[in-house]
Structure 1
Amino acid sequence: MKDAGLFIDGVRIALAGREIVSLTRHVAPGAVLTVMGPSGAGKSTLLAFIGGFLDPVFSASGRFFIDGQDISALPAEERHMGILFQDPLLFPHMSVGGNLLFALPAAIRGRTARKRQVEEALQGVDLEGMEARDPATLSGGQKARVALARVLAAHPRALLLDEPFSKLDAALRQQMRELVFAKARERGLPVLLVTHDEADAAAAGGDIVTIGGTE
Structure 2
Amino acid sequence: MEDLTALLLPRLPAGIRDASFADYDGDGVVDVFLVYAKGQNRLLINNGVGKFADRTESHIPRILDDSQHADWADFDQDGDNDLLVVNRLIDKHYRAYPGETTYFLENTGGGNFKKRSHKMLPRLPSYKVYLLDANGNTKPDALILTSKGVYYLQGRGRWDFTNETRRRLPRFRFFREMAFADIDQDGFLDLFALSPTPGRSRVWLNRFD
**Which TM class, normalised by the smaller chain length?**
under 0.3
* Structure richer in strand, relative to its length: 2
* Structure richer in helix, relative to its length: 1
Higher relative contact order (CA 8 A, sep 6+): 1
TM-score, L = length of structure 2: 0.27
TM-score, L = length of structure 1: 0.26
